[in-house]
Structure 1
Amino acid sequence: MTVYVDDAVHPWRDQRWAHLMADTLPELHAMAAQLGIPRRAFQNKRSGVHYDVPAPLRERAIALGARPISRHTDRILLKSVIANARAQYSANG
């Protein structure tokens, strides 16, 4: 089981943001908790369950064991991770 963090490529509020995703929801929530991200920041969306993390927090996630993945060089893996995140979506929240 693995937690993943993609490239910090999404600009918002003068920062670059990444997506924190995982093979399972318990792993995802556990990593977010280790990073100090409140549960209310969890995004349960049809596009995939995830947490948004700013670039500096992305580096901390990697230091804690998250696997960095790149939208540029890990396309097949990233598509698989995103498909898994979509499969974990719950319309009930």
Structure 2
Amino acid sequence: MVVYVDPPAWPARGRLWSHLISDVSFEELHAFAEMLGLPRRGFDRDHYDMPAERVPVAVWLGARPVSSREIVRLLHAAGLRRPKHLFSCQRA
């Protein structure tokens, strides 16, 4: 199982957040997030939003630190990228 995490750089609700992704499947991503204790509501289209304080634990469990740009590249290469505008259209 290989998942990836970017540096905590996204401010929200008084914290910094990272993105956690898989380049294999959403099932793999959900399984890893469960090991971390992340709630399913943290899943946003193609990634989990993860608070900065969970990043060291994620890396300890095997997540590979990568840049935010690499997160997007990996999702595209795996065919798992779900852009916000596409997601909105699918809901309509």
TM class by smaller structure: 0.7 to 0.9
List, as ranges, runs of 4+ consecutive aligned residues in structure 1 with deviation greater than 6 Å. Answer: none
| Alignment match, 1:35 | 36
Task: Report the identity percentage.
Answer: 43
Partner letter of residue 11 of structure 2?
Answer: P
Alpha-carbon separation, structure 2, partners of 1:19 and 1:82: 12
TM-score, normalization: structure 2?
A: 0.75
TM-score calculated relative to the size of structure 1: 0.75
Matched, 1:8 2:8: yes
Aligned residues: 83
Distance 1:67 1:10 in 2: 18
1:40 is displaced (CA, Å) by 2.8
Among 63, 81, 90, the alignment partner of 1:86 is: 81
2:18 & 2:39 partners in 1: Cα distance?
16
Unaligned runs of 5+ in 2: none
Structure 1 residue runs without a partner (length 5+): none
Instruction: Flag the structure with higher helix content.
Output: 2
Within 5 Å, give how 1:42-81 maps onto structure 2: 42-44=43-45, 49-71=46-68, 75=69, 77-81=70-74
